[in-house]
Amino acid sequence: MPLLTVTDLTKDFGGLRAVSRLSFDAEPGEILGLIGPNGAGKTTVFNLVTGFLRPSAGRILLEGRSVVGLRPHAITRRGIARTFQVVKPFPRLSVLENVTLAAFSHEAARRRAEALAAQILERVGLQDKLGSLAADLTLGEQKRLEIARALATDPRLLLLDEPMGGLNPREVNAACALVEQIRADGVSVILVEHVMKAIMRISNRIVVIHHGEKIADGPPERVVNDPGVIAAYLGTRVV
């Protein structure tokens, strides 16, 4: 059974159809790339799956159980965690406290939640920043902090919204390695990303959406050579 099954997902904002009858699966243990030109509806899909938006129509099943209508915190507790395209750390709290708060979702005792948080921060390479305020981190560090915070909720599926946006090439490499490590630890990942080199390298499969509709779904090498995908990105010749 797929981990996540999205069927005929549709979202209208007034007269605008941001997502249109979109269907896709995410399998356990895979990194699924979700790409598309700006405004294609990728972040809207994330907001629908994580409960920040309510679908106009369609079904979202996590291991066969619907999560439509649940509030975001409940969906997190079911096992779907996310990061945000524009980072949303808790700026005036320490790095450790940021992640501890997430660990509280399944570990009530503060001491054990903190130990868990410290362990996860080490995995993302922020072990030297535990006492810093989140606001004082660089953008690259804040993105890793968000991943740590999402991991601390003990998810089965992690939705990463442009974790590499604004990072330098060295940081992108580190981020790729981190995402692959997360998969190796048994967490499936859906990745929205504009850094093509990265997404081509680490995705098992790529879903392309354009104007809210799916236009391709397959392994990276096949998807990039798909004429429809090339047209969506570069435009079609008029004559």
Site residues (CB under 8 A) for another protein?
A: 50, 52, 71-74, 76-77, 81-82, 84, 88-93, 97, 100-102, 104-106, 108, 110, 149-150, 152-153
Q: Which residue has the tokens 């007034």?
A: 14
104/233 with CB nearer another protein: 104
Short-list 198, 205, 200, 153, CA closest to 178: 198
CB neighbours (10 Å) of residue 97?
16
17/77 with CB nearer another protein: 77
Reduce the DSSP state of residue 101 to 3 states and report it.
Answer: helix
Nearest approach, Cβ of residue 207 and another protein (Å) = 22
Nearest approach, Cβ of residue 105 and another protein (Å) = 3
Nearest approach, Cβ of residue 104 and another protein (Å) = 6
If you ran DSSP here, which 8-state letter would residue 94 be given?
B
d(CA 125, CA 86): 21
Beta bridge partners of 206: 33, 218
79/220 with CB nearer another protein: 79
Nearest approach, Cβ of residue 73 and another protein (Å) = 5
Reduce the DSSP state of residue 64 to 3 states and report it.
Answer: coil
13/219 with CB nearer another protein: 13
Nearest approach, Cβ of residue 36 and another protein (Å) = 23
Short-list 62, 119, 52, CA closest to 82: 52
120/206 with CB nearer another protein: 120
d(CA 198, CA 31): 12
